[in-house]
Structure 1
Amino acid sequence: MSTAPTTPTPVRSVALGSSGLQVPNVVLGLMRIADLEDRAIRDLWTAARESGITFLDHADVYGGALHRSEERFAEAVPLSSSERAEVIIQSKAGIVPPQDGDPGSGPYFDYSYEHLVEAVEGSLRALRTDYLDVLLLHRPDALVEPDEVARAFDELHAAGKVRHFGVSNHTPAQIELLRRSVRQPLVANQLQLSITHASLVAQGVAMNMTGLDQSISRDVGTLDYCRLNDLTVQTWSPFQAGFFDGVFLDNPKYPELNAVLDRLAAEYDVPALAVATAWITRHPAGMQVVLGTTNPDRVRAAAQGSDLRLTRAQWYELFRAAGHTVP
C-alpha cells in the first residue's frame, strides 16, 4: 500500500510593518543565483513555493553586473500575471558598485532622486514586472538628502511602480531623518542577525555591565526602535558566524552551540538549520528570516523552523552556547 507524500506545513505569516500585508516569515534571498542554470533556479523556487515561501528578496547589485540576479530569476521563472499577484517581490537600491579598472569609481552610495528612479526602472525591466511590492534603501548614504528620497518615493508610488518602502542596515536616527521628508510609511529594516551575530539582541540583555564587551551599544537600540515604530526586521545572513565569516552550523569553532542545535534538532525531529531559524522566528518581534542559500533542501529545512516554538529555556540555552552572557 503506497503512502501519499506529506505536504509541508506552510511557513508562518507575520505583518509587514504597517503595510497591511501578511507575509511569510521566511524569505527566499536571491543574491547568489546569477551563475546558476535555469533548472537550478526553478528547483530553488519550487522548494520555496511548496514550503509557502512566496516572498522574494532581490537587489540591483546582486549578481556581479547590475540587475543580473533579477534578470536571471525572470529568465528562469517567468511568472504569469496570476502568479505574480501571489508573490511579494522586494528589491533594494542605493549601492553603486565599482567599475572594472577604475579604483576611484566605487563602491559608494547614492540616494539621489535620479539614481533611485533609474535603479527601480532597471529592476522592473530585469524582473519583467510592472511593480515592486517593496523597495528598500540598501545601505545608509552619508550624503543623503531626505527631500530627494521623498521625491523619488512619491513619483514611484504615484506611478504604481513601488507599493511599499523600507530600509536596510539603518539606525533609528537615520530612519527618523528620512521620515521627516518621506510621506509613505517605512515598513521594514533589513539587518544582519544570527545566533552568533546577535548584538541587536545581546546588548540589551547585558546592558550596564561594566567591562563586558556585550554591554557596549553598537546598534543603538535599533531592534526596539523597529518594534516601537512598526518596522518589520528582516534578518540577513541568519546562519553566518559573523560578518561574512562562514556559517556556524557544523563549524568546529562552535562546538557547544552545534551540540545544542543537534540535540534540539533530534528532540523536534527537524534539521539543525530549522532550529537555527527558529531561534530568530521565536522572537516576539515577528522577524523575517532572509535565506541566502542556493540549495533547495536548505530552503525546506529553514521552512521547518518557521513556526517551531522554542521554549524560553531552549532559546536562552542557544544564546549562551553561542557565547553570549546571560547575567
Structure 2
Amino acid sequence: MRIDHIHFYVKDALTCRDWFVQQMGFEFVASGASCHTRTTIVNSGAIYFVLSSAIASNSPVAQFLRQHPPGVADIAFKVTDLEWVMERLLQRGAKVIQPLQTHNYEYGCLKWAKVAAWGDMTHTLVERCGILPIPDFPVQVDWLKSQVQRQTSNVNTSPTEAFTHIDHIVLNVAAGDLPKAVQWYQQVLDFQPQQVFTIHTENSGLCSQVMVHPVTGTQLPINEPTSANSQIQEFLDVNRGPGIQHIALATRNIVNAIAQRRRQGMSFINIPPTYYSQLGDRHPSYNFSAAEWEAITQQQILVDWQAQSPQALLLQTFTQPIFAEPTFFFEFIERRWGAQGFGEGNFRALFEAIEREQVKRGCLPMEKR
C-alpha cells in the first residue's frame, strides 16, 4: 500500500489552499463543490492533499469539526486489486464505511472504498485503472464533475518542486492503546513493526512503534504518552481523541526548502545552540564543509544517523502547528546516502523542542529544572 492522498477537513478550504500554495510552494490542481462541501486539491511531486470545508451543516466536514479541530480525516492508500483487498479486509474484521464504487471515464476508471481506521480517522483504498491525465479523487459520491475547475484559480502556482513525496505519517493514540493500534495495522493492513523508541525527560515521555509496510515501505510511526503531561497527551486532549500528529515531507535539498519557507513567513521549532555543539561530540567522524555546517545551523536543521550506518544521514526539521490549535504540524526531511528508518537523537531532539513549546504555552511546568 502506497499513499495516494491525504484528506484534510478544515474551516475554509480555499484559504487553506492559498496557504499551501503561498507558504509551502504547492501547486493548485482542482476545485469543486457538492451541495454541502467545498473541496480543493493541491500538489507537490507525488504528494496530493485534498482540502475540504463545510458549506452546509450536514457536511461530513461539519460533523468532524464539531468533534475535532482541523486536521487529517482520511489517509488514502493506492492498491492494485481493490476487490481482492476489500475481500481480505472484510475477512480481517475491517469496518466498511463506504462500499466499493467505480467511476468510469473515457480515459480510465477510478475504484475506491473506505474503511474505519483508528479513532475517527478513515482509510480510503483507491485503484486507478487506465491513464488519468490529472488525478481524480474519491472525495464524495455526489461530487459533480461539471463543477470541477482545474487550474483556473487566480492563485499563483510555484515554479519549483519543494517536496517530492510523503516520507512518513505519525499517529498519536491514547495511553495503553499502542499495542492495540499496532495489532490493528499489522493484522488488517499488513504493516510490520520495526524500530521502537522510548523517550523520557525529567518532565514527560512517550513510547513510539514504527510500522512499515513490507512491500511498499510506507512508514507509520505510532506514539502513545507515558506521562500525564506528555506532549502526546496534550495533543490527545486538544484533538479530543487520537489522530495524525504530523506528516513528513521529503525534499532533495532541505536547506533550500527551509530557507524558502522562512522567507515566506513560515515558523519552525527552535533548536538551541547547544544542540550543535553536542552534535560534533556525538558524530565526530562526519565532516560537513564550513558552508554546509553554517547553513545547517542557520536553518536549525537536526542531523542524525543510525549506528550501523553512520555515513547515511537524516536531516530534519519541524514546523510550528499550522492550525490555531497545537495539534498538527509538518516535518521536512532529507535522507542522504540511503538513510533508512529513524535516529534516536533527532527523535529526542524533537520531543525536547516540543516540550519547550509546551512551556511557552504554560502547559508543562519545568519543576525539576
Normalising TM by the smaller chain, what interval? 0.3 to 0.5
Query: Which has the larger strand fraction?
Result: 2
What is the TM-score with the length of structure 1 in the denominator? 0.34
Higher relative contact order (Cα pairs below 8 Å, separated by 6+ residues) = 1
